[in-house]
Structure 1
Amino acid sequence: MPLRKISRLEQDFIDLIYKLAEISNMELTEYVVKFGFEDVDSFLTGLFKVDLTGLRDGQKIKRQVLLKWHPEAKMRSCFRECYKREVVFYKQIMPKFLDIQNDFKNIEGLKIKFPNCIYASSEYDKETVATLVLADTGFRLRNRLDKPDVDHVALVMKNLAKLHALSFALEKTNPKDFEEITLLCHKDVQYSNPGSAPKSMRSYYDASVDLVLDPVAKNKLRKVAPEILNILYRCVQADPHSAICHGDCWNNNMLFKYKGSKPVDVIFFDYQLTRYASPVTDISYYLYMSTDGDFLQQHYDLIIEIYYGTLSAVLRQCDLDVNNVYPRNIFEKHLKDYSVLGLIEALVSMMIITAPYEEAIKMTEMKYELEDQEIYENGYQIRNEHADRVNGIVSDFFQRNYSLDALISK
């Protein structure tokens, strides 16, 4: 995301900067605020990089903070529930997961890393999340338009498995705490109610479906179009094999660490859509939003095995058997029934995630702010990559005989 220095700041924001310095145990002497962050290809406003310089015990120290804070009341209102959920993750969920990793002495390769959140508040009209910048630790963003490869995708799937395994472990070892967490996450941030999809959401979906070349697949997708919000609602309802999920796991919400040109680690951020749902909602969301048809045709089965093998290994470290926690037959059934979430999300978002940065910003703002406006009214052009990605994931979905409507047909 392009950086832009800010010359004038609201007093609330300045107060927040001094609070961050106090939390960092520094006497603030200088700060620089930039809108955006070069390591995050964000499509939304409200993201700032803050360079803090100050003194601690007479020594000069510096800290770089990634700050999520919306100055506009309208945008704060739009993202209020997102802030609340991310605060729940950093204050209630993450500490429990870290305790499990420490208590069971998980080997390093089976541990998941989380952002270092130094401040999170859901106080009304002061919603804020602040994490330390990870660039100094060697993590960086991968271009969302780069072709997917097994090394990157396998890392993501392993870490999704680690995240889900910690959820299963917490449920088994500390059911009281786990129940409290699930109550905090029982209402989905995006899809808390069934009904008709907003006009803009339906318009994005239809634009992608119009590009589908297979007439049978296109007809099926058009047939369920009036039900897409109901399908998503059903996908995020809890069942006996649900887990704490990231909820928005795609290329723009993760940073990779490299050894030479090879990715060796990944860290997820933006936990603002954390949900309690089938693990497959995370898996399908990532694969359909961040890979393409060629990759899925060649490597899908391998990637699924990597996920399930990692899940088994982490559970074993926690003295649990995957066959008792998330049996393979249940997992396979979830893949068939819940992968539709990833497909619909990708069809709705594909025009945005394949667009150049400035256009993606405009379309995202319209998606959130102008729910009753159709995209074609704004003159956006369909790109070849949009069409190619849509046809690739649709083809893969139907070749696997996955279901569009199993959950709403029950």
Structure 2
Amino acid sequence: MEQHARLTLESVLELIAADEPKVEITKLDEEPGSGRGDNYTSMLYRVRAKGRKQIKEGEWIPWQKAIIYKVLPQSKARREAFKSELLFRNEVVFYTYVWPALNKLQDGKPVFQGVAKVYSARPDFIAMEDLRDRGFRMADRREALQPERLKFVLKALAGFHALSLSLKDLRPELFERLTKPDTVQAVQEALFRVENEDWYRHYYRVAADNAIGMVLEGLPAHMEDRREEVIEKLHAFLNEEVFFRTMCELAAAKGPLTVFCHGDCWTNNFLFRDGNIATSETEDVYLVDFQLSRVGSLALDLANVLYCCTSGDVRKKHMVHLLEHYHGNLMTALHTLNPQQPRDPSTMWELLNEEMRRCGRFGLGLALDILPISTCASDEAPDLYEGGEEKKDGRNTRAPPPGGAECTQLMTELVLELIENHAL
């Protein structure tokens, strides 16, 4: 028996009533909305409603609409392993309180519109538009993002982050209310909380051992004389007694660049416009899945995408230019939203670089998890559409998939880069 909400003809009509009241639905087709390895903390389904729409008295035309809806995993063990209830709650709060407050700032002066239309957001069910109908597609998670797409993502993040910084300047009381921990309207840190340390101990123990093994294997021959130094620094960061708390401190730190972060900036959460489809769309990329949204430094999002979604070669050739691209779009968006309170570009550039150095380790901590997932074959990934055996103990015993040759190269490149930049 199904344990979660399913869309019916009547519920779809109710969801779209405000936008399209003169519609009759005759058929619903449903399929999974993501494949294995594409989504971990919830289950996605795609529904296509078909019927007809009245355009004037007595005249109807064929009509159809696709909706994506998200529900909690059916298996209690899955929900507990992925902390799904807390993550789901976070996304509902983001769509219900945070995004409306940010979006209101850009009335008539848009800087970021890359959030899908949400029809419903409640504790166990989220329904939103299917962006595939507007020509947006997920990139291949197993291919590192190249500069062109990275620029799209960084421009989107610049606009998104600028909304937070402007809200802090223009409506400080509202920003404070939406960021105050443990209140109904505030997103919460869902992963890197000190009370989660024991819960994730096994997972990160395996992830850390895997990463050390990869770097031992992947260290280039010309670096052999630095092997001991490299492994010693990596060991110091991944030490079980300090790693998780370090990640908690980095996630929680507040400063002048504190914003609402997306929190999960990896390839599967970016939808790019298909160049083969003609559209008047103004956005080049949409951000999806705000379950891990947090309040923290904007560099947390940047470290996530730049250190976990691209290659060392791309960073070596383009890192400075990519950060300049982000910085330029951030300054433009801030001026658009709040021209009366200009910020000094050189000061913001210094702050940005300082935060990127500070948050480099955070990117590596995320990479322990993301790189094995993003490079593994789909059949190595957990399947949330299948039931799971209920676990009797309270520990999180799942582990990341083992890293192959590609993951070994990416992990090694990242560790060496952070050591070279004095971030590790």
TM-score band (shorter)? 0.7 to 0.9
The 2-side partners of 1:383 and 1:37 are apart by: 23
CA 1:264/1:91 → structure 2, altered by over 3 Å: closer, same or farther? closer
Following superposition, the deviation at residue 293 of structure 1 comes to 0.9
In 1, the alpha carbon distance for the partners of 2:314 and 2:300 equals 19
**Do the aligned partners of 2:158 and 2:330 also contact (CA within 8 Å) in 1?**
yes
C-alpha displacement at 1:268, in angstroms? 0.6
Q: Shift in Å at residue 362 of structure 1? A: 5.9
Aligned CA distance change for structure 1 residues 46 and 240 (closer, same or farther; 3 Å): same
Alignment of 1:326-365 (within 5 A): 327-361=348-382
1:71–1:308 distance in 2 versus 1, CA, 3 Å: closer
2:318 pairs with 1:321: no
Tell me what 2:224 maps to. Answer: none
Q: 1:41 and 2:38 equivalent?
A: yes
Aligned to 2:139: 142
Q: Do the aligned partners of residues 43 and 331 (structure 1) sit closer, same or farther apart at CA in structure 2, a change above 3 Å counting?
A: same
Residues 81-100 of structure 1 mapped to structure 2, 5 A cutoff: 81-100=86-105
For 1:269, which of 274, 288, 292 is the aligned residue?
288
CA offset digits 1:92-117 (Å, max 9, x no partner): 122222221115x24xxx43321111
Displacement of 1:201 in angstroms is 2.0
Which SS does the other structure have where 1:72 is aligned? coil
* Count of residue correspondences: 382
Q: Distance in 2 between matches of 1:186 and 1:93?
A: 8
Percent identity reads: 24
Report the equivalent of 1:3: none
When residues 131 and 295 of structure 1 are mapped into structure 2, their CA distance, relative to the original with a 3 A threshold, is same
Aligned mates of 1:39, 1:359 — CA distance in 2: 8
Q: Which residue among 310, 318, 323 is the counterpart of 1:299?
A: 318
Alignment of 1:221-232 (within 5 A): 221-225=234-238, 226=240, 227-232=242-247
- Corresponding position: 1:22 with 2:14: yes
| Pair 1:255 & 2:255 matched | no
Give the whole-Å Cα distance in 1 for the aligned partners of 2:366 and 2:25. 43
CA offset digits 1:91-148 (Å, max 9, x no partner):
1122222221115x24xxx4332111111102xxxx1111111112111111112243
Name the CA shift for 1:42/1:14 in 2 (closer, same or farther; >3 Å).
Answer: closer
Q: Flag the structure with more relative contact order, 1 or 2, with Cα contacts below 8 A and sequence separation at least 6.
A: 2
Q: Which amino acid aligns with 2:132?
A: A
Which residue identity lines up with residue 236 of structure 2 in the other structure? K
CA contact (8 A) 1:203 1:374 kept: no
Contact kept? 2:45, 2:68, Cα under 8 Å: yes
Q: Which residue of 2 aligns with 1:211?
A: 214
Q: Structure 1 CA distance, aligned partners of 2:48 and 2:232?
A: 53
Query: If the length of structure 1 is used for normalisation, what is the TM-score?
Result: 0.84
Matched residue of 2:381: which SS? helix
Contact 2:93–2:187 (8 Å) recurs in 1: no
Gaps (5+ residues) in structure 2? Answer: 18-22, 55-59, 220-226
Q: CA deviation at 1:186?
A: 6.0
Task: Report the counterpart of residue 57 of structure 2 in structure 1.
Answer: none
Letter paired with 1:10: E
Measure how far apart 1:340 and its partner are: 1.2
* TM-superposed deviation, 1:253: 0.5
SS of corresponding position for 2:140? coil
Quote the offset at 1:387 in angstroms: 0.5
Q: Which residue of 2 aligns with 1:220?
A: 233
